[in-house]
Structure 1
Amino acid sequence: MSSAALLLGYGLSLALAAPALARAGWPERAPRLGIWAWQALTASMLLSVVLAGLVVTVSTAPVSGGLGDLLQACGLMIRAHYEAPGGPAVAAAGSVLALAVAGRTGWCLTGSLLGARRERRAHARVLALVGTADPVLGVTVVEDARPAVYCLPGLGHRIVLTSAALAALEPKALTAVIAHERAHIRGRHHLVLAYAGALERAFPFPAIFRAAAVQTRRLVEMAADDEATACADGPLPLAGALLELAGPADRGGGSAASLAAGGDVAPRIRRLLGPRRPLRRAVTWIGAMAAGGVLVLPFVLAAHPAVAATSVNACPLPYSQVPSPSTPCGLTAASATW
């Protein structure tokens, strides 16, 4: 079977596995592992499509003096291992597919990162005018009647609290929410969210990218909740802060701003107050390696035919050089005539 067909089949299987991962309960027990799993799943699917488009060009590419020398293998055998029906037309379509997917991904990801950086810089300029630094808490306070807490990540990062939030939160809850925002900054969650959001915008139709963006937004908040709980005096202060900062609609299951921006507040509070059942360290490591394997497998599928060709000790001779049965062994028809 063609390597391209294997890669496309692998990508399709990943897309079909996305709903099962979205329904699984273990990511809530290990949010950072869940984030890594979604990143590996989406990146591996894109790699499968791009590499499938590239490998079909090998059968028409002049690899005899290039890739063959690099691998110390017969170029003819490499082309035979990658050969797919359709010839140049399929190779051209594969090249267009690979360039289109890679270009669209790069364009949206670059635009997402640059756009977010421009917004952060503009927001930082506004904060320099209206915000007041609190050196004791290490935060910036903005006068506002609405309680809100959020972080401005990136270079020169800062944590921002409104005056209403500062007045409403008790000291332990305040410590918990600041630890939550610091966890976002340390984990560079803005880059994780930019990646997931860029893929969702680049490819809105496959459900895997929409599911990855939704689940990633939820899991980064849970990961920050876990770090804040470890720094604070248990989960109660953070749960109380979520209730204090969320409006009535958010307590009922709607979306909230700032601290509660990663999805429904009620499930996060239930998770904080419920029994803690984190995954064992060994299970987490096995899961991380499995996600890494999912990411590496497209490269293995794409490279396997070329690597298999290195086991061929000799190249097949062109037809014109094959000795004729009527001539002496080792002589061509031209050399046997005198």
Structure 2
Amino acid sequence: MTAAAPMHHHEPHLIDRLPAVRGRVTANAPLANVTWFRVGGPAEVMFRPADAADLAGFLAGCPADVPVTVIGVASNLLVRDGGVPGVVVRLGRAFAEIAVDGGTADGMEIRAGAAALDLNVAVAARDAGIAGLEFLSGIPGTIGGALRMNGGAYGRELSDVVVSATALDRQGREHVLDRGALGLTYRHCAVPEDWIFTGATLRGHPGDPAGIGHRMHEISSARADSQPVRARTGGSTFANPPGEKAWALIDRAGCRGLMIGGAQVSEKHCNFLLNLGSATADDLESLGEEVRRRVYETSGIELRWEIRRIGVPAPGKTIPGSTP
């Protein structure tokens, strides 16, 4: 007689607790390769919904104790080295559609999914002869991200052009929110953090495509001249305090070129952090916290992070700037 082979008990995984979906679900999904900083640990589970109905069904069936985090193209995102517990939702092509709605009495409207790149929306508006959305070409991200932080650049921000937005709450119910309900202020949105934007309607005014294109070219040139656009970086690291420029405060505090590990404050624009190639998320966040400390010491002003930081530190580490 031969001994029975030992039984292997199936270790329960978070995936086993999630509802059935049509989209793609991946355990232990790497995130560093999708972020602009190229750092960070994995998502415990990554979910790429097939469409808005798939996302709504998932949210309705997802256990309430499971954290859900949504990411776009991760241009303004720092994922900590220990990864992101729970489910990371990444919106894909089904949420990237752009459609010109035509004219209304108030102007010309364009509808864009939350995963549509800001630049692509600006290009579609130019091609349709819709002026007023050129500033979007200077924001490296998606419409969902722009809604979440009232993204702005070159004298305008999303609150100037948004008519309404659609979002799904944590139970999967859809809400259509007008401009007032979004509660947009400087780099802030009043919509609950756990709601997921799925799209927006934006309004411009009739314009000449050639003139619109010329303005977009000016913005592109200004960005290339003043920002480290070809580096492993995020967007602006800190929001501008009232009446001040974050970069000038950082410069005055002597932080231009400051380094921790493989992370550096950009020499070209002090409000950008760079991964020189070997940085960890901890290096970048520690550098940001050191910049905040020095700015507070020299000016009495507390800088507020504009870059979104998610996830947990590597084992044995604490979040920089927090009390252990």
Global fold match (TM > 0.5): no
Q: For the superposition of Structure 1 and Structure 2, which TM-score range results when normalised by the shorter chain?
A: under 0.3
Structure that is richer in helix per residue: 1
- Larger relative contact order (Cα-Cα within 8 Å, sequence gap ≥ 6): 1
Question: TM-score, normalized by length of structure 1?
Answer: 0.25
Larger radius of gyration: 1
